[in-house]
Amino acid sequence: MAIRSPIINVMTSAALKAARGLKRDFGEVEQLQVSVKGPGDFVSSADLRAEKTLKTELSKARPGYGMLFEEGGASEGSDPHHRWIVDPLDGTTNFLHGIPHFAISIGLERDGEIVAGVIYEPTRDEMFWAEKGAGAFLNDRRLRVSARRQLGDALIGTGIPFRDRGDHPRYLATLGRVMGTTSGVRRLGVASLDLAYVAAGRLDGFWEFGLQPWDVAAGLLLVREAGGFVADLAGGQTMLTSGDILAANNHLHLPLAAMLKEALR
């Protein structure tokens, strides 16, 4: 049985509270698909409502902590050691299109290191959580990364840059290599959940460029605590600042890293 610490309880209950609103709003979005105006503005306010709930709940429980929220940006707290890093709605494009795959992601940083992470997926009621040194869990089940050793058997998640975001040819070079070597590539549209899925062994690896700290803070701890490996594309630990990330089980991380490096040469 997984024992949730007080801080994990704070994070999971904040996520559950914000998810109630998101679920209600998602029902509305499904109706708005056929309207001429579309659900765009409505989704932006759903996002802001979720952020407000999370801010209120987290600051009620830990008043001095600093914050980095996707919508509201950074704010310093009286406690210089702790900071919440939060994406109130990861997977906005899925949400906007009525695709039931989105999440709330909450990471807790202590002195520059992520020490607790919660990723909640409301549609399936899946609460992914991890605490440094205590393991990674899905609801009450302990998580382990997959045991696959062969790239040819591996299913790999990714994020495809869109519109003017990112360097498209650079990304396509990596995609070309991974497509030809693995048993498939998935673009599920929610970076935090992609990482949670690596932790759960559903995906064997995941890479993306140009992510934001709130996309990866909670997920990188989940992967580590599930026995996997996370790094930037140079093998360093700058994921929160560079936004480049490769996560995988320990057998596949090295060959994947070598393949991406080769593709980027």
# residues contacting ligand IPD (CB under 6 A): 12
Q: Which of 51, 57, 90, 244 is in the footprint of Ca ion by CB under 5 A?
A: 90
Helical packing angle, 213-225 and 191-199, nearest 10° = 0
Q: How far is the CB of 215 from Ca ion (least distance, A)?
A: 4
Q: How far is the CB of 208 from ligand IPD (least distance, A)?
A: 6
Place of tokens 């399936």: 124
> Does residue number 87 form part of the binding site for Ca ion (CB under 5 A)?
yes
Nearer to ligand IPD, 211 or 226 (CB): 211
> Does residue number 91 form part of the binding site for ligand IPD (CB under 6 A)?
yes
Residue number closest to Ca ion, CB atom = 90
Interface segment toward Ca ion; rule CB under 5 A; list 23-31, 37-45, 62-70, 231-239: 62-70
> Does residue number 39 form part of the binding site for ligand IPD (CB under 6 A)?
no
> Does residue number 211 form part of the binding site for ligand IPD (CB under 6 A)?
yes
Q: Which of 25, 51, 204, 215 is in the footprint of ligand IPD by CB under 6 A?
A: 215
What the block records as the tokens of 259 is: 């393949």
> Does residue number 208 form part of the binding site for Ca ion (CB under 5 A)?
no
Nearer to ligand IPD, 4 or 188 (CB): 188
> Does residue number 87 form part of the binding site for ligand IPD (CB under 6 A)?
yes
Nearer to ligand IPD, 17 or 97 (CB): 97
Q: How far is the CB of 212 from ligand IPD (least distance, A)?
A: 7
What the block records as the tokens of 201 is: 């062994």
Q: Which residues of 150-164 are buried (b: 16+ CB within 10 A; e: fewer)?
A: ebeebbbbbbeeeee
Q: Which of 39, 117, 157, 189 is in the footprint of ligand IPD by CB under 6 A?
A: 189
91's contact among Ca ion, ligand IPD, none, with CB below 5 to 8 A by partner kind, is ligand IPD
> Does residue number 190 form part of the binding site for ligand IPD (CB under 6 A)?
yes
**Which 147-166 positions form the footprint of ligand IPD (CB under 6 A)?**
159
Kindly list the residues in this chain that would bind ligand IPD in the complex (CB under 6 A): 87, 90-93, 159, 189-191, 208, 211, 215
